[in-house]
Amino acid sequence: MAKRVLTTESGAPVADNQNSATAGAGGPILLQDQHLLEKLARFNRERIPERVVHARGSGAYGYFEVTDDVTGFTRADFLSEVGKRTETFIRFSTVADSLGGADAVRDPRGFALKFYTDEGNYDLVGNNTPVFFIKDPIKFPDFIHSQKRDPFTGKQEPDNVWDFWAHAPEATHQVTWLMGDRGIPASYRHMNGYGSHTYQWTNAEGEAFFVKYHFKTNQGVRSLSADQASELVGKDANSHQTDLLQAIERGVNPSWTLHVQVMPAADAADYRFNPFDLTKVWPHSDYPLQRVGRLVLDRNPDNVFAEVEQAAFSPNNFVPGIGPSPDKMLQGRLFAYADAHRYRLGVNHTHLPVNAPRTAVVDNYGRDGVHATRNGSRHDKNYEPNSYAGPAQTDAALAAPLAIHGWTGTHEAPAHTKDDDFLQAGELFRLMSEDEKGRLVANIAGGLSQVTRDDVIEKNLAHFHAADADYGKRVEEAVRALRED
């Protein structure tokens, strides 16, 4: 086999990769050493800005296979027939910590899935919890600032974390999820994934439905206690990455079964609470789970940077038959995610192999910018309409239109008869076993007792009392005991 030749970026062979060019044997380095300068300059630039949230992540390729007929609800081609398979890429992640953070920490997990469909890429960007802390995107930057490192101390501060939650009563439901047993998954393979938001499906007849996605792990849900997690972090900070990588390399391919809850669009207006509120779940008694298919992961990326760090997921990447809902948090993410990728990776991040469609043909008038690879030929125009046979619109909407009415301005979400920030948190608490309740209370008290301001503690205790009297009493007693020690 012929020996491979090391070259510079321009393809010139490198004569010496062990010694820099100098003025004499012991002299200073020469500015003319092009290979040295290029190598150092590239090294200085080989890191891109990490994600503001979801920085620490792992990914894998796989496929989604339809197992049940859902054509009565959506005309999406990749869901059009039982047995149809679509290639996928998934990225799991923690939310609050940096790229160098540990995996086994108490934090929501990102569950971002890219379907490489024949009609273009469809991105479903969710979490391992069915709800979230807030219901309006204007609060998102403040929420994340409260959870990340303090500008002065340089570390996460309980005062900041709990002060924000004290002023966001709608967070009580998600806090109960986070501080419960599922707050620290044993691995990425042993947790569920949720679309969390409400989305719209539209069938071939134009009928609209609102849906929620539930990916149920086929490995079974397994979680870690706080003590188990601390021990694991000390042994392997990359525990979830190690587990996912090794499982797939061994051929133990993790899988999830996708179910959806389906609400006829007409039900939304009169539902007892706002069905587009991200801090709430739809009771399964109202809208039972309906099976759709299974997701299987069977291939690890060859290069983590190229395929995991450069992977870009945007909730606004829809395909015909799937669209947005009036969920305010989703509406904000439709802009924010794509904009974040343009900042991190450049306007042409969709040209990168992990983000580019597999079978669908990309044909538009986007040109130029950093790393442009699809600028067209001399015969291609960069404007539309034109008389040169360029691509033209289809006049077929991806999803059904949403009816709107009222005055423009800043409005609170319209009240439904049973809108409440605490009801579902209380219901979740009452579903737990005594052991689960004990661990939940201990986890909350462990953090809340570190807060230095009594008023912040009292505001948070009021939320737990409002959710359930026993819940509030237990947390209050546990906090008091820890503060008296």
Q: Could you list the active site residues? A: 54, 127
Q: Is the dihedral of CA 231, 237, 61, 191 positive or negative?
A: positive
Angle between helices 434-448 and 226-235 (to 10 degrees): 70
